[in-house]
Structure 1
């Protein structure tokens, strides 16, 4: 266990840090118009974050002890193909559906 004083110090510092990060966008820039070139870059945020979060779980899943699982690879391919045509919500649903269907059929 972590010491209680260290826990509360870290918790308060993290709270202050996240407040300052949010305030920098909402408090300082909240009433200003964001330039179009910044908005164009912000549209790619999800495209950059989702692969970084998902790739380790597809290639080295903890559930299988770090070995590659064909079901997860096929589900990732389904996400990619649906994501090319539709939005992220449809891609996520397609990936989840594919993974659970394959797990049901093949274990």
Structure 2
């Protein structure tokens, strides 16, 4: 598709305005006010929800394998999840998952 310079700058400007309005809705409008306890309770789980959303596509459809399911990545994810659940230690989970990934990649070639 060929876009003219005017169309490209219009798209950039509109996306910039949209991004500003999204951020202003939280920072500008709610920035000086105390949030209700139930909102703060739900916001605590934002990072817990975002991290699996970022990692899951890399485990299930890794680009390194052309989108094919890879047993090495699935086993590393399972070990990471298990170690994290049982030890409640993020660093132990990361080290165990990375070790499992490299071991499985070495073993499977």
- TM-score normalised according to structure 2 size: 0.75
CA distance in 1, matches of 2:82, 2:47: 16
Q: What is residue 43 of structure 2 aligned with on the other side?
A: 42
Alignment root-mean-square deviation, CA? 2.4
CA distance in 2, matches of 1:90, 1:83: 7
Higher gyration radius (CA): 2
Gaps of 5+ in 2: none
Q: What is residue 5 of structure 1 aligned with on the other side?
A: 6
Count of equivalent residues:
105
Equivalent residues in 2 for 1:52-71 (5 A)? Answer: 52-71=53-72
CA distance in 2, matches of 1:101, 1:48: 28
- TM-score normalised according to structure 1 size: 0.76
SS in 2 for 1:66: coil
Gaps of 5+ in 1: none
Asked if 1:78 is matched to 2:71, the reply is: no
CA distance in 1, matches of 2:32, 2:83: 37
